[in-house]
């Protein structure tokens, strides 16, 4: 038994279909601890880094359009970090197979996912598939101060000439 972290994204189809509550209720069956949560407007750059491993696939461009929100005209995703024993497999079991038609009908993707006419799997959620992917993804989507505990090593850095948006 290993303590693992995992990144979940409720994708734009999940948000536009008002599935946020259902998805979080289903995820809570895994009895994990929530470590971070935020709404993100996904840039093309972030989307392409997140799905880097799928570059070159025929559905890649459509997948990027989907995750940034162009397909549903809903420009946000809900990003969540969970931690606990065997978090990755526990969550992947609840989430179901990548292909909503193959997914167990009682899983999140089996219940709410669909395949578009262009063949993209609109499968409501993302969930990390290995500890290595989870670490890479969590560090991509979250800053250390946005996670309630230091789940990975941190360091102090002095950043000069960094422009930042602050409340006016
Ligand atoms: N995807 C797709 N068609 C495919 C494979 C993947 O549309 O044949 C999309 C789908 O939305 C999936 C995402 O690309 O969730 C990432 O693919 P991956 O193979 O990493 O599946 P996941 O880890 O999300 O189950
Ligand atoms: Mg994946």
CATH classification of the domain holding 136: 3.30.70.141
> Can you give the pLDDT at residue 68?
98
Residue 19 inside a domain? The answer is: yes
72 is catalytic: no
Q: Between the CA of residue 72 and those of 25, 59, 63, 79, 125, what are the distances in Å?
A: 23, 17, 12, 17, 14
For residue 115, the ligand 1 atom closest to its alpha carbon is: 7
Q: What's the pLDDT score for residue 76? A: 98
Q: Which atom of ligand 1 is nearest to the CA of 11?
A: 11
Query: What distance in angstroms lies between residue 109's CA and the mean position of ligand 1's atoms?
Result: 11
In a domain, 153, yes or no: no
Phi-psi region of 90 (alpha: psi -120 to 50; beta: other; left: phi over 0): alpha
How many domains does one find in the chain?
Answer: 1
pLDDT for res 11: 99
Structural domain contains residue 25: yes
Residues in CB range of 148: below 8 A, 6 or more apart: 35, 36
Give tens-digit pLDDT for 56-96: 999 999 999 999 999 999 999 999 999 999 999 999 999 99
Query: Which tens digit of pLDDT belongs to each residue from 21-46?
Result: 999 999 999 999 999 999 999 999 99
Instruction: Indicate whether 115 belongs to any domain.
Output: yes
As a whole number of angstroms, the distance between CA 131 and CA 27 comes to 18
Give a yes or no: residue 155 inside a domain: no
pTM over 0.95: yes
Q: Is residue 52 part of a domain?
A: yes
Of the pLDDT bands very low, low, confident and very high (cuts 50, 70, 90), residue 112 is very high
CA end-to-end span of the chain: 48
Domain membership flag for residue 22: yes
The catalytic residue among 50, 53, 72, 126 is 126
Average pLDDT, the chain: 97
**Average pLDDT, integer, range 16-25:** 98
Instruction: Residue 66: name the closest of 49, 81, 44, 45 by CA.
Output: 44
Which structural domain range is residue 45 located in?
A: 3-146
Identify the pLDDT of residue 1.
74
pLDDT at 168: 96
Using the predicted structure, report yes or no on whether residue 51 has a pLDDT greater than 90: yes
Q: Which of 121, 124, 134, 136 to mutate to test the pocket of ligand 1 (most atoms within 8 A of CB)?
A: 121
69 domain-assigned: yes
Position 141 confidence tier, pLDDT thresholds 50, 70, 90: very high
Give the residue whose CA is nearest to atom 19 of ligand 1: 98
pLDDT value at residue 35: 98
Count the Cβ atoms, other than its own, within 10 Å of residue 6.
Answer: 31
């Amino acid at each position: 038994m290993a303590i693992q972290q995992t990144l979940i994204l409720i994708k734009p189809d999940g948000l536009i279909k008002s599935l946020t509550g259902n998805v979080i209720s289903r995820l809570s069956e895994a009895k994990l601890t929530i470590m971070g949560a935020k709404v993100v407007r996904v840039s093309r750059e972030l989307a392409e880094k997140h799905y880097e491993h799928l570059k070159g696939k025929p559905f890649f461009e459509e997948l990027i359009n989907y995750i940034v929100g162009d397909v549903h005209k809903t420009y946000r995703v809900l990003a969540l970090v969970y931690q606990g024993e065997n978090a990755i497999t526990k969550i992947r079991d609840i989430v179901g197979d990548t292909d909503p038609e193959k997914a167990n009908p009682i899983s999140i993707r089996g219940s709410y996912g669909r395949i578009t006419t262009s063949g993209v799997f609109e499968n409501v959620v993302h969930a990390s598939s290995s500890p290595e992917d989870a670490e890479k993804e969590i560090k991509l989507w979250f800053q250390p101060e946005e996670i309630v505990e230091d789940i990975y090593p941190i360091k102090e850095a002095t950043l000069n000439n960094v422009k930042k948006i602050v409340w006016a």
